[in-house]
Amino acid sequence: MFKNKLTGLLSLILTVAAAGRSAQAGRVGGPGEAVEIVYAGEVDEYTIWFRADEVAQVVVDGDGSSDLDLFVYDENGNPVASDTDYTDYCVATWVPRWTGRYFIRVANRGPRANVYGLRTN
């Protein structure tokens, strides 16, 4: 019985610790999600604030109808991360040097519209 209580307590501690880390990392204000559509040959743009010295991540997951590319720029227009393979699943991960605005661009390289989910940590 003691072992079960200890295991349960350890599990609870790890869950709370993980929640605390994710609340402090990434996007200012916590994780975010959106579902959007980007038309053929078009680019969707977002401005998102991320915290300094914490892992920042943007994930784009499309519907499979066309190639999507993901680009991230800092507030000075410098590229900081990208994913430009030939799929519509993109991941950009970086560690911001300062807390500030980052510009996210999702480019549709294909001949059809693509409905995608965008997630940040």
pLDDT of residue 109: 98
**Structural domain includes residue 1:** no
**Structural domain includes residue 89:** yes
Q: What is the DSSP-derived secondary structure letter of residue 11?
A: H
Q: What is the pTM of this model?
A: 0.80
**Structural domain includes residue 10:** no
In the predicted structure, residue 7 carries a pLDDT above the cut 50: no
How far is Cα 4 from Cα 80, in angstroms, rounded to an integer?
46
Q: What is the pLDDT of residues 14-73, one digit of tens each?
A: 443 444 444 457 999 999 999 999 999 999 999 999 999 999 999 999 999 999 999 999
**Structural domain includes residue 2:** no
Question: In whole numbers, what is the pLDDT of the chain averaged over residues?
Answer: 86
Distance from the Cα of residue 105 to its chain's centroid: 12
- Residues spanned by the domain of 110: 26-120
Q: What is the DSSP-derived secondary structure letter of residue 38?
A: E
Helix, coil or strand: residue 84: coil
**Structural domain includes residue 16:** no
Cβ neighbors of 107 (< 8 A, separation 6 or more) are 38, 42, 43, 68, 69, 70, 71
Q: Please count the structural domains in the chain.
A: 1
**Structural domain includes residue 87:** yes
**Confidence class for position 4, pLDDT limits 50, 70, 90:** very low
